[in-house]
């Protein structure tokens, strides 16, 4: 059954094309990528060839010239098949490309957009060993040395780091000013002093790489500063607000994928001489999941539409990420249970959805941080 939400003809066509790509190209490789803990290089090439790594990048730079909403549709559709590949596409579009779009100079766009469209993977380097939810207690340092900035520090849990050629790194140029010294820099693979550290072994989304990014005496040209000096905190906060819609879309797709696998199974599995979907208890569970997934979809789409309309969306993004990550965990769990023992083995996809879903409550802002944001922005309710 198609989603109940209204899409334009162009959006439906785009969604269908991504769905075909995910089912034909990604689905056959999901299990092997999960086992090997890396995205198949052919899938990466196909994501670029499909234009999925530069959805909002203007056509004059080789991008698709699409909308943020289309990025969200792509993230959702891919996540129905593999949330690991979905977050790979998500980070490129909602974080890296968005930063350049909003704060990059024309010169930076001319240099980096064509690369991000063609074959360069980007990553967003903010989290450090002692700064997780308190992201702005970061200790990475940047100091001016002649015509270059010199960066020292280490980032952890960086998505796409293993495949990345472009790194957006946040470091503090004036620690005595606290978060007001944080500045964003564009760094390219191959620059002396940049290295990739330990690759994490994870519970879920294992195809997506999560690594340390280390910089020691890393010299970065002055022209690679993104935005104003000391305004990196603003760039990070506002970019993560957009990124949270992407994570919500990823969790939405995951929930939808898990639900449809469970729905199909209940139409095939027989117990006590009849299909298990004929039992009212099963029917009610499926009906509840379907309703909650559609509620999630409305939250995600609404936040994305607001972003495209250049209207305030921070509260709606937080609501979407919070609610969808909660619902998707419940849906993944219940879908697995509907398969009984089969849901617990790797031959069926539900155990992977169940492993993949847990990260939704954690990265790009925990559920508690989303609730805090929502509450702060509810003053208008009085």
Which residues participate in catalysis according to the annotation?
A: 364
The angle subtended at Cα 115 by Cα 52 and Cα 215, nearest 5°, is 110
Q: How big is the chain, counted in residues?
A: 382
Q: Which tokens is 215 given?
A: 């910089």
User: Is the alpha carbon torsion for 52, 53, 54, 59 positive or negative?
Assistant: negative
**Helices of type H across the chain:** 9-21, 30-36, 41-49, 68-81, 83-90, 98-103, 106-118, 232-268, 280-308, 314-338, 350-357, 367-376
Count of C-beta atoms within a 10 Å radius of residue 41? 9
The answer to whether 353 and 335 are in contact (CB under 8 A) is yes
The answer to whether 188 and 219 are in contact (CB under 8 A) is no
Q: Which tokens is 335 given?
A: 């879908």
User: Is the alpha carbon torsion for 8, 90, 329, 240 positive or negative?
Assistant: negative
What is d(CA 72, CA 59) in angstroms, rounded to the nearest whole number?
19
């Amino acid at each position: 059954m198609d989603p109940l939400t209204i899409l334009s003809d162009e959006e439906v066509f785009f969604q269908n094309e991504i769905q075909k790509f995910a089912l034909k190209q990604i689905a056959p490789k999901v299990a092997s990528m999960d086992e090997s803990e890396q995205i198949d290089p052919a899938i990466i090439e196909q994501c670029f060839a499909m234009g999925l790594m530069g959805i909002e990048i203007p056509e004059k730079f080789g991008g698709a010239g699409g909308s943020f909403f289309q990025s969200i549709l792509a993230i959702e559709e891919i996540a129905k098949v593999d949330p690991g590949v979905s977050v790979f596409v998500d980070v490129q579009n909602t974080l890296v490309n968005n930063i350049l779009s909003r704060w990059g100079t024309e010169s930076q766009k001319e240099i980096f957009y064509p690369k991000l469209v063609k074959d360069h993977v980007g990553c967003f380097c903010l989290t450090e060993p002692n700064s997780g939810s308190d992201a702005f207690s970061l200790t990475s340092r940047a100091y001016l040395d002649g015509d270059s900035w010199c960066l020292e520090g280490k980032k952890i849990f960086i998505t796409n780091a293993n495949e990345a050629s472009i790194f957006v790194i946040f470091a503090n140029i004036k620690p005595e000013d606290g978060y007001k010294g944080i500045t964003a820099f564009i760094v390219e693979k191959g620059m002396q002093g940049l290295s990739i550290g330990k690759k994490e072994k994870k519970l879920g989304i294992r195809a997506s790489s999560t690594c340390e990014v280390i910089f020691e005496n890393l010299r970065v040209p002055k022209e690679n500063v993104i935005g104003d000096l000391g305004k990196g905190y603003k760039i990070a906060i506002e970019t993560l607000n957009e990124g949270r819609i992407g994570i919500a879309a990823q969790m939405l797709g995951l929930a939808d994928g898990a639900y449809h696998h469970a729905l199909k199974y209940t139409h095939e599995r027989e117990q006590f001489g009849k299909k298990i979907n004929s039992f009212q208890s099963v029917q009610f569970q499926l009906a509840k999941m379907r309703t909650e997934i559609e509620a999630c979809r409305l939250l995600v789409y609404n936040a994305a539409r607001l972003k495209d309309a250049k209207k305030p969306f921070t509260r709606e993004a937080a609501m979407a990420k919070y609610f969808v990550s909660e619902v998707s965990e419940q849906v993944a769990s219940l879908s697995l249970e509907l398969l009984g023992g089969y849901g617990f083995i790797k031959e069926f996809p539900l155990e992977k959805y169940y492993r993949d879903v847990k990260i939704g409550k954690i990265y790009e802002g925990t559920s508690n941080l989303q609730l805090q944001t929502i509450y702060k922005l509810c003053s208008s309710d009085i």
